[in-house]
Amino acid sequence: MADAKLNVGFLGLGIMGEAMARNLMKSGLFASVTVWNRTLAKCQTLVSEGAKMAETPAAVVSSCDITFAMLADPDAALAAVFSDNGVLKGISAGKGYVDMSTVDEATSTKIGEAVTAAGGRFVEGPVSGSKKPAIDGQLIIMGAGDKELYEQCQPAFGVMGKKSFYLGATGAAARMKLVVNMVMGAMMGAFCEGMALADKSGLEQSALLEILGLGAMANPMFAMKGPAIMGRAYPPAFPLKHQQKDLRLALALGDALNQPLPVAAAANESFKTAKALGRGDEDFAAVYEATQK
Ligand SMILES: NC(=O)C1=CN([C@@H]2O[C@H](COP(=O)(O)OP(=O)(O)OC[C@H]3O[C@@H](n4cnc5c(N)ncnc54)[C@H](OP(=O)(O)O)[C@@H]3O)[C@@H](O)[C@H]2O)C=CC1
Ligand SMILES: O=CC(=O)O
């Protein structure tokens, strides 16, 4: 991708996708960046910055050498590929499709097999890192599938992320991402319970934050999300509904492998409670509200 200026596409301009597509545009590495979003009006910002827009995923894929996707969940990822005017209608020999959404292995495998059967090449490339790392081009990219396409994507991955890993056959990156987010969801659940217990027992939450931050449990997530929890305001960087989806998919993976996951299962219940409280579109730190019922 470095020497020949390729035409690239991007499907899904949500919190992550818009920032990732913008970084592809800003890099100057590509001849063009063509975008599509289910709600087409959301393409306008990038179009005003120089992107091309297409009305369907098929139109993006047929006009691009490599198309990236960053979609909400398995249903969205499957719809973009298999619906009328979906990716499969535009794919042909040699074209690349790189799905960076967080989905389960079965979804990714189904997409990969269909793209490959149509002559295309497929990589799954879920990412770790939230809105700000997406804006800053500092994501961690987990790749699997077609190794040649993965290598061809290195310049694109280099502008979207700070490091990429090739993990093997399709499915490996999907599994890795679910494991990572299962740990994150459990950590956030435990952190919010600690914040709630501190408050209820007459302790300052700010003191708890500082003490955690100075010891072996220090981490950027507690430092970043602590103030949101104290203010009980959760502008979305990583929507809570997506974290709950990731826990659900990780638990299904555990079920399939007979791997006990009691801590993740308990965290999932807290996220389900917060979702039922209407907090699904807020940041996942809003799981704190589940401790306040
Ligand atoms: N936000 C974060 O911090 C991170 C998110 N992720 C993962 O990245 C993916 C995207 O996340 P994020 O950008 O935050 O999510 P958003 O909810 O902001 O965006 C979701 C995107 O998916 C589209 N979409 C939803 N349903 C469908 C459908 N049925 N058919 C086609 N398109 C659909 C939306 O289109 P429309 O605008 O029309 O609704 C939108 O473009 C998710 O898998 C998430 O788990 C991974 C790492 C970090
Ligand atoms: O998937 C979410 C993230 O922050 O990573």
Q: What is the pLDDT along the chain (293 residues), one digit of tens a residue?
A: 445 799 999 999 999 999 999 999 999 999 999 999 999 999 999 999 999 999 999 999 999 999 999 999 999 999 999 999 999 999 999 999 999 999 999 999 999 999 999 999 999 999 999 999 999 999 999 999 999 999 999 999 999 999 999 999 999 999 999 999 999 999 999 999 999 999 999 999 999 999 999 999 999 999 999 999 999 999 999 999 999 999 999 999 999 999 999 999 999 999 999 999 999 999 999 999 999 97
pLDDT of residue 1: 47
pLDDT of residue 2: 46
Classify domain 7-169 by CATH number. 3.40.50.720
126's tokens? 């879920």
How many Å lie between the centroid of ligand 1 and the Cα of residue 11?
Answer: 10
Task: Name the 3-class secondary structure at 65.
Answer: coil
76's tokens? 């969205």
pLDDT of residue 284: 98
From 15, 100, 104, 127, give the residue whose CB has the most ligand 2 atoms within 8 Å, as the site to mutate. 127
Enumerate residues lining ligand 2, CB below 6 A: 102, 128-130, 181, 238
**Range list for CATH 1.10.1040.10 in the chain:** 175-291
pLDDT of residue 129: 97
124 contacts: CB under 8 Å, gap ≥ 6: 98, 99, 100, 103, 108, 112, 143, 144, 145, 170, 171, 173, 174
**Range list for CATH 3.40.50.720 in the chain:** 7-169
Q: How far is CA 73 from CA 100, 152, 218, 244, in A?
A: 11, 25, 30, 11
Classify domain 175-291 by CATH number. 1.10.1040.10
Rounded CA-CA distance 199/213 in Å is 17
Rounded CA-CA distance 21/61 in Å is 15
* Start-to-end C-alpha separation, the chain: 52
155's tokens? 């310049």
Please give the ipTM for the structure prediction. Answer: 0.99
95 is catalytic: no
Phi, psi for residue 7 in degrees, rounded to 5? -90, 125
pLDDT of residue 190: 98
Enumerate residues lining ligand 1, CB below 6 A: 12-17, 37-39, 42, 70-73, 75-76, 79-80, 101-102, 127, 130-131, 237-239, 242
